Chains A and B, each alone.
Chain A
């Protein structure tokens, strides 16, 4: 049973697009982190106007922390999207009620929990960098939408687990 659904097709395209953007973001972030030591004086002079008393050695720990947590967050998003892609593929193949999808959803749930923690850590680092450089930080807080999404994903994992059991039972029914 093949499902031909435009929304599904669009979802697959969108997932691939976001994965591409995440990969590009990770490459950019890594490149920036690697290049930063070579442009130390340029960065310092660029920030001199806003933060004249800035000591670059105090800026580095939170800045590299932000790079690190940013990369971790992007990695978590990538892992989540690749699992979502596998689920969408199984839906378009017409066989979504499988134990593998329940496991994937559970994994997505935990990845999202880790993502929330990484986002908070990233927010703290950005706030610190922002206060040091006299710019505005993004701020960090626990996202209610994120928490709701996590609960939804775990509930869905349970639904899929039961669905997979029912599917298996149906397969054995003559």
Chain B
């Protein structure tokens, strides 16, 4: 998948654990874990908005596009 999820870096920068984020955005830890490991096939705008609100970032900070070689 050429779209990378940079949740790990954001969490690291903000010193927040995945469990804490799960509590803040009201998304299950299992789903956030799927997102973090890049196994998610799609992300809802509502999820994106909740994560951006919790981490005070822009969608572009969370996602990156890397074309396939």
Contact surface of A with B, Cβ cutoff 8 Å: 169, 171-174
Contacts and interface: CB of A to CB of B under 8 A. Distances in A.
7 contacts: A171-B41, A172-B34, A173-B40, A173-B41, A173-B42, A174-B34, A174-B44
A150 to B, nearest CB: 34
Contacts of B40: 172-174
Nearest to A173: B42
B39 interface: yes
B27 interface: yes
Contacts of A171: 41
Interface centre among A169, A171, A174 (most CB of B within 10 A): A174
Interface residues of B, number: 12
A162 to B, nearest CB: 16
Contacts of A172: 34, 39-42
Interface string B57-69: 0000000000000
Contacts of A173: 40-44
A174 B42 CA distance: 6
A167 to B, nearest CB: 12
Interface string B19-57: 000000001000110110001111110010000000000
Nearest to B36: A174
A172 B43 CA distance: 8
Given A174-B42, A174-B44, 20 more contacts: A169-B41, A169-B42, A171-B41, A172-B34, A172-B39, A172-B40, A172-B41, A172-B42, A173-B41, A173-B42, A173-B43, A173-B44, A174-B27, A174-B31, A174-B32, A174-B34, A174-B35, A174-B40, A174-B43, A174-B47
Contacts of A169: 41-42
Contacts of B44: 173-174
Contacts of B43: 173-174
Contacts of A174: 27, 31-32, 34-35, 40, 42-44, 47
